[in-house]
Amino acid sequence: MKKLFVFLIMVAAILTYDVVQSEQGSIIVYSSMEQYRTEELQKQLNEQFPDKNILVMYVSTAKSAAKIKVEQENSDADIVVGLETSYLEKVKDSLQDLSGYQTHEYVDGLTLADNDNKYITWERQAGAFIINKEVLKKYHLPIPKTYDDLLDPQYQNLIAMPDPKTSGTGYFFYKSIMNTKGDQEGLAYFDALEKNIKTFTESGSGPVKLLIQGEVAIGLGLTFQAIDEINSGSPFEIVYPPQGSPYSLTGTAMIKGKNSKEVQEVFDYIANDFFLYDKENFSPEQVLKKQKNKIKGYPQNIPYADMHGISEIKEKERLLELWKY
């Protein structure tokens, strides 16, 4: 993992966007959210600040962190949105201190102070067992309810899981099991599960795509993607294992030294107004004590798993060194 991050830093240094030179006076926002959310943010910022030149750029989580790590206060970016907290921890020394910043009323454990006042929790990305009921019916198989159920040989080649080395979704499923079982028992679990896995997908959306195609019956995937497909007519069912729904967190922050009045105004809008819009319409997993949700059929009172250590980059690097599939 360390070698991978060093490589990404080198790539970031070589593949410079030259945004600052070509966009003098611009306010640059790096977004690691999905493209449709990034486009909506750009649209709203254009409407809210018609006199400002604001550019919202989609930059993947790993590349965003690598560029900030190498460029530090000279980063093209003024603001980052939707960056995984483990990567935010990696670049925390390059982030603006937000002490005293007015924030929302978060659920316990997600306050600004818990982030050393360097970034604001943006969202919770959570997962579940996503079941294609028609495929299970075709093979006359029951719906699995627990992680141990997934080890039954009857599900051989009918399960898809994202690869933890390339997917944050895959990593939080991996981390949840390791938190519950410990290293030795957890690794033994994945040795057994691998026998039933059709494929470890590169992206977190991979299992849902395979479910849509009917290539697997069970996907370890993102709840909000499953709900979107259910609302579109897919024969899916969501199952939360007894340990609860595993998840990771993302955050938003300002780059150190980029806190001009104009940047602060844009950051305030993102961290307050667009934050609420995004939670209501796009990313509804609960992070606030009072949170509205406009997405049809989204599960209520979701039981969340014990995800301690999910934001610790050294722990992530250690666990990924142990992953062998």
At residue 9, the pLDDT reads 47
Q: What is the mean pLDDT of the chain?
A: 89
Q: What is the mean pLDDT of residues 23-36?
A: 85
Where is average pLDDT lowest: 67-71, 194-198, 213-217, 250-254? Answer: 67-71
At residue 1, the pLDDT reads 53
At residue 21, the pLDDT reads 39
User: Residue 126 in 3-state DSSP?
Assistant: strand
What does the DSSP assignment read for 231-287? HTT--EEEE--TT-B-EEEEEEEEBTT---HHHHHHHHHIIIIIHHHHHHHT--S--
Where is average pLDDT lowest: 97-106, 229-238, 305-314? Answer: 97-106
User: Residue 27 in 3-state DSSP?
Assistant: strand
Q: What is the pLDDT of residues 106-163, one digit of tens each?
A: 988 776 656 788 999 999 999 999 999 999 999 999 999 999 999 999 999 999 999 9
Q: What is the mean pLDDT of residues 172-193?
A: 97
Whether the per-residue pLDDT at 4 is higher than 80: the answer is no
More confident residue, 197 or 72: 197
CB-based contact 246:85 (threshold 8 Å): no
- Cβ contacts of 192-195, under 8 Å, gap ≥ 24: 192/151, 193/150, 193/151, 193/159, 193/161, 194/325, 195/153, 195/156
Q: What is the mean pLDDT of residues 174-203?
A: 96
Q: Treating both helix axes as pointing N-terminal to C-terminal, what angle do 223-231 and 206-213 enclose, rounded to 10 degrees?
A: 30
Q: What is the mean pLDDT of residues 271-295?
A: 92
Query: Which range among 64-68, 189-193, 315-319 has the greatest average pLDDT?
Result: 189-193
A 10 A CB-CB count for 26 gives: 15
Q: What is the mean pLDDT of residues 245-268?
A: 94
At residue 74, the pLDDT reads 84
Whether the per-residue pLDDT at 218 is higher than 70: the answer is yes
Q: What is the pLDDT of residues 52-79, one digit of tens each?
A: 999 999 998 878 888 998 888 888 999 9
At residue 187, the pLDDT reads 97
More confident residue, 234 or 10: 234
* Residue 3: band (very low, low, confident or very high) from pLDDT cuts 50, 70, 90: low
At residue 112, the pLDDT reads 63
Alpha-carbon span 145 to 37, nearest angstrom: 32
CB-based contact 274:122 (threshold 8 Å): no
At residue 141, the pLDDT reads 98
Whether the per-residue pLDDT at 11 is higher than 50: the answer is no
For residue 13, give the amino acid letter.
A
Q: What is the mean pLDDT of residues 221-231?
A: 94
Q: What is the mean pLDDT of residues 5-22?
A: 45
Query: With the C-alpha atoms ordered 241, 242, 243, 244, is the resulting torsion angle positive or negative?
Result: positive
For the question of whether the overall pTM of this predicted structure is more than 0.85, the answer is: no
Whether the per-residue pLDDT at 201 is higher than 90: the answer is yes
Report the 3 state secondary structure along 32-54. Answer: CCCHHHHHHHHHHHHHHCCCCCE
